[in-house]
Amino acid sequence: MLERRKAPVEMLRYGIILIVLLWTVFPIAWLILTSFKPANDIMVTPPRFLFKPTLDNYIHAIARSNFALFIGNTLYVSLLSTFIVIILASLAAYSFARYNVGGGNLLFFILTTKMMPAIAVVLPFFLIFRDIGATPIGEALGIGLDKRGALVISYTIFNLPFAIWLMVSFFQDISRELEESARLNGYNRLQVLWKVVLPLAAPGIAVTAIFCLIFAWNEFLFAYILTRDAARTITVGVESFFTLRGILWGPVAAAATISVVPMLIFVLVLQRYMVRGLTFGAVRG
């Protein structure tokens, strides 16, 4: 770091970085560009970089399919499951971080449930929800096949292990002395948790929530298997523009853009915590 930098080396460095960034960003940029292209500029050789932007694809996507419904479903399912996950996970994670319940074994067992291949889990889930949906309780709660409740439960289970692990790492960062002095001042354990720990952990909880929201929003397999029309989400709905006459790439791009762009914004917000989140809290970069 102390040596004087040579200009050609630095140019080479930034040159390569530029190529890498073009490679990572280009597919996303091309997706967004394609969504604004007129139909006759999409299926052409060579690809067109200049065109008159239009909203036709968006209009088509929303008018020709249940796209508004898909968006609504995605919002409902990802927000509600995230909310439930955060409540359950913050209680559990606090307990793991402070009292070390199960000496680490239980915590690791929780992580292994996430290692199951989703495809192996989805069929038993299919049968569970088919059976629950046939009962009056399932009908009243909206849990069953092609019901949003089934996805809310699935995503809650999916994100719980992740959320618990990440939050344990955030709770471990909070100083214990503060809690102890609150205890000495007459707070009981619940009050300590509610009035001292949770406010301090708020940033960590928010970060965990955004991660859960992204994972639920982007989930494909469960939505694909457990829903048909009424509860379908965007990630699966994008495929509805695969017609017998071929793939309508314009509307596909429009639908995909609607699905991708909000998450791009969230990821930029999460920047600093990306590494921590994706390593289950292990690397606190």
Residues 100-129 that bind another protein (CB under 8 A): 100-101, 104, 106, 108, 110-113, 115-121, 123-125, 127-128
Interface pattern 59-78 for another protein (x via CB under 8 A): --------------------
- One-letter amino acid of 274: M
CB of residue 117 to another protein, shortest distance in Å: 5
88 lies in the binding site for another protein (CB under 8 A)? yes
- Whether residue 82 contacts residue 207, with contact meaning beta carbons closer than 8 Å, is answered with no
Both tokens of 106, joined, read 């239980």
Per CB under 8 A, which region of 25-33, 56-64, 144-152, 201-209 contacts another protein?
25-33
- In the chain, what are the helix, strand and coil shares in percent, each to the nearest 5? 75, 0, 20
With H, G, I as helix, E, B as strand and everything else as coil, classify residue 247.
strand
Around Cβ 241, how many Cβ atoms within 10 Å? 23
CB of residue 100 to another protein, shortest distance in Å: 6
Per CB under 8 A, which region of 28-36, 51-59, 63-71, 135-143 contacts another protein?
28-36
CB of residue 258 to another protein, shortest distance in Å: 10
Query: How far apart (Å, rounded) are the C-alpha atoms in residues 95 and 197?
Result: 12
Nearer to another protein, 18 or 55 (CB): 18
Which residues ranging from 246 to 265 are in contact with another protein (CB under 8 A)?
Answer: 247, 249, 252-253, 256, 259-260, 263-264
- Whether residue 269 contacts residue 210, with contact meaning beta carbons closer than 8 Å, is answered with yes
- Whether residue 176 contacts residue 259, with contact meaning beta carbons closer than 8 Å, is answered with no
Phi-psi region of 17 (alpha: psi -120 to 50; beta: other; left: phi over 0): alpha
43, 59, 68, 178: which one binds another protein (CB under 8 A): 43
State the DSSP code for 37: S
Interface pattern 133-172 for another protein (x via CB under 8 A): --------------------x--xx--xx--x----x--x
